[in-house]
Amino acid sequence: MRGLKEKIIILFYEEHLKEKEIANSANCSSAYITKIVKKDDRYIDEKKYRADKTKNNRKISQNKFIKEKREQKRIDDNYAYVQSQHREAVNELSKSKHLSNEGYRRWNQSAYSYNPLKKRYEFDSNLGRSYDVPKYIKER
């Protein structure tokens, strides 16, 4: 019996196994493990060590959960923004068979640059322009 008690104490205090794990490996009840462990002088220190370890693990888990939640919110917000941009583009492009000059400019923002002196948007001549693409669009 002495060998079993020493094995239990080593598993609990040095390897920091739980009482239930020790009970399963030693083929005895967890109440018996608790009884043996509580008699040792190191029990209070071990209890404090385990409580601190649990507290630290919980803190790490909470921080991880919060980070994941923030990341998911950021992803959802970006997705919602892209959806709204898509809806806006669909509405603009499907209003009529003819796209207004202003709608065309918004749809092709990179093709037009604003000229503040003339208060109009001017098509970039380096891109090459067909006859139905407006060269200048007045500011509204």
Q: Return the domain boundaries, the chain.
A: 1-40, 100-140
Among 106, 111, 102, 110, smallest CA distance to 139 is for 102
Claim: this prediction has a pTM higher than 0.75: no
Tally of CB atoms within 10 A around 55: 10
Confidence bin at 109 (pLDDT 50/70/90): confident
42-84 pLDDT per residue, tens: 999 999 999 999 999 999 999 999 999 999 999 999 999 999 9
Angle, in degrees to the nearest 10, between helices 30-39 and 2-13: 80
- 50 CA to centre of own chain: 30
